[in-house]
Structure 1
Amino acid sequence: MEVKKQLELTLKASRSMALLSEDKINAILNDLADAALEHTEAVLVENQKDLSRMDPADPKFDRLKLSPERIEGIASDIRNVASLPSPLGRILSETTRPNGMRIRKVSVAFGVIGIIYEARPNVTFDVFSLCLKSGNACVLKGGSDAIDSNTAIVKVIHSVLEKHSVDHNILTLLPADRAATAEILNARGYVDLLIPRGSQGLIDYVRENASIPVIETGAGICHTYFDEYGDADKGQAIVENAKTRRPSVCNALDCLVLHESRLADLPQLCANLPDSKVVIYADEKAYAALNGHYPSALLERATEESFGTEFLGYRMSVKTVPSFIDALDHIAAYSSKHSEAIISENEERLDLFRKMVDASSVYCNVSTAFTDGAQFGLGAEIGISTQKLHARGPMALEELTSYKYLIDGNGQVRPK
């Protein structure tokens, strides 16, 4: 089927979603969670086809990989979304004008949301569940690296929709080719909002070439600043978790910023990283502090390219700074405004960090690994917005709605 025809069918199907009751939406989502578990083996077979075409050393390999445990987590997230209150029909404000007109500002669905994403088949489940719960149809444009996984997952979703007699065109998976990308980038009148999820290159390409509204998500160059008042035991645990839990995701630690008065604590802060074979790119002072205390095969001298890089793997940089202000300056210069953290026992420093760091999520004595819709209690996420217009941080149900004004009266007319 031609892409334009698919978009037309999705647009038409989106209009009927306003008629779905909250109970029916929740029933579909709970049945989908069951179906995801039931079809785990079939999905994993298709996922293995995708994995066989990718080099395991590629940072995207971990994002592409599904497992029984990950599918169980996906099913749990779908159930969490079902359990949340509907974001639709909320009265955001209400007033009655002197002439008796009643004006209400009410939350509504966007309509059709488009997603362009790379090797992340879990996104297919996440996007559909969030879009359904928020009353939106969705158009998915995955990459060729995950085509078999995405096709299998969409088949599972469509079977659940058909079971509930809901038009399966509320979810459309476009072909994994460049022609389809060009179509969705310029789908004015068909797609209301476009969200790219993937590398900085993908995000930049979508932003520069789309003629429809775009929300930037994903790219995470994340710092953790160990302050002169930091607790070394907390720092050791936080650095290890932020770097090694899942290094290929956007909330992983890329650069440890260290107050130079705490250089003697640097070996302890990095003590657990050799277990995961983390390569450290250290500036001169940090290199001297680690030399002899960190495996030489994993320790390299930093270059300018070591900072402002999203490593997406078992690599990180260390930057030494002479003051708190210099730490703020370094973060401001290299941050992607995703997630930034400070480790300090000084409340004044913590408060200043909260106020002065410009990022979607600012952490005090906590690992940046928590930047995630499910971890924030949002059920799941459609992406992490790193911009400031409309949505910022983990985007979930509330962020997938817009609003409209409802005006009620009794024959009022405006004077000439």
Structure 2
Amino acid sequence: MIEPVEQLCARLIRFDTTNRGHGQGRGERDLAELVADLLTDAGLKPVLLERAPRRSNVIARLSGQRPDLPALLVQMHLDVVPADPEEWAVDPFGGEIRDGFVWGRGAVDMKDMCASVLTVLARWAEQGRTPLRDIVFAFVADEEDTSDYGAHWLIKDHRELFEGCAVAIGESGGYTVPTRRPDGSLAHLYPVGTAERGTAHLLLTATGKAGHGSRRNDDNAVVKLVDALHRLAAHQWPVVLTPAVREFIERTAATLDVPVDWDDVDGTIARFGPAVKLVENTVRNSTRPTVLSAGYKVNVVPGVAQAQVDTRVLPGTEEWMLSDIDNLLGPGIRREFIANQPPVQSPIESPWFDAMADAIRAQDPEAVVIPYCMGGGTDAKAFSKLGIECYGFAPLLLPEGFDYRAMAHGVDERVPVEGLRFGVEVLDGFLSR
């Protein structure tokens, strides 16, 4: 008897795999061992790999009927961000099922996808089915921090495990965005991630003359840094229509009967209803100061002041954006990278994208499948370095009014039971073909 996907998802949530960053947390080992057992039960031969104790990755390859075809990678992460139980209506690691939802940290990010994939594999084992091509399943560590114990380490030290993989699917795509047209009719939009903005976390350092806070100081590091940050934060980055963003706007506008004004992109997308959240952060680059550090005593002017800036970079804009940042910062500010992961971009006109769309429409005939660019980042940034085309495709059926984007990393994270069951059917159809 195959365990229902919602019960499996709840069981996965009960493993506290909190990642607090900087190598801190409970680790993924206990959950990884369960995943490995489930993969073994489905007839696969998983391997557990760790760069550090308890930071576990599980990799397994399932041979297909046509080993001559390019292989597919299904990549998921086992870790989750922290959750404060005082803020939640339920135990964030209780894996509670109620009111038609599975509740808990990781319910949509991304133990739902892990449960759906494992359910598909259990079904195939019971029915004696095999996919058309080889599929590599990667359940990885550390995605919620640097991926230095997960995907980035795997592609560096164990890249042979991904031999022959041409395409990968992962989180953040294939879910329903119910949106009303002007006439009140409901459109079922399904975004599939075909691109990601790059992540360029910057450290800015201003140096000046240290001294007493009561005395005139025209070389104050704090003032120089604050002035530079104000220029950077106030700067309005121009609209840049990458292929994924342009295609998203065109297809969404046509579906929702919204006229497109390319001279007023912000005004156009403002009429997209809930779908605006999928595109409002990816029509331009962004630079947002997030961390400040200077001084140790109120009456002492420090000689050094630093800031960290979360910078997100659209495909094809890296060179001129960094040049503009340097001009905005001005002299006396040193810029360096804390992290620099370039943007990801995969083809829209692709049989892979078409197959994802077909798999969704097989379960929801009214589905409108559209490409989109993710505003944040995933482990696609690692796997794309191997030449693998990466897509965000973790299908779910979501009801109208359900704020899916507020669930990931949010309080009272939960996923609809019916949505999980829908995702299993979509993944079964896509992975089978």
Give TM-score scaled by structure 2 length: 0.27
Instruction: Tell me which protein shows more strand as a share of its residues.
Output: 2
Instruction: Tell me which protein shows more helix as a share of its residues.
Output: 1
Give TM-score scaled by structure 1 length: 0.28
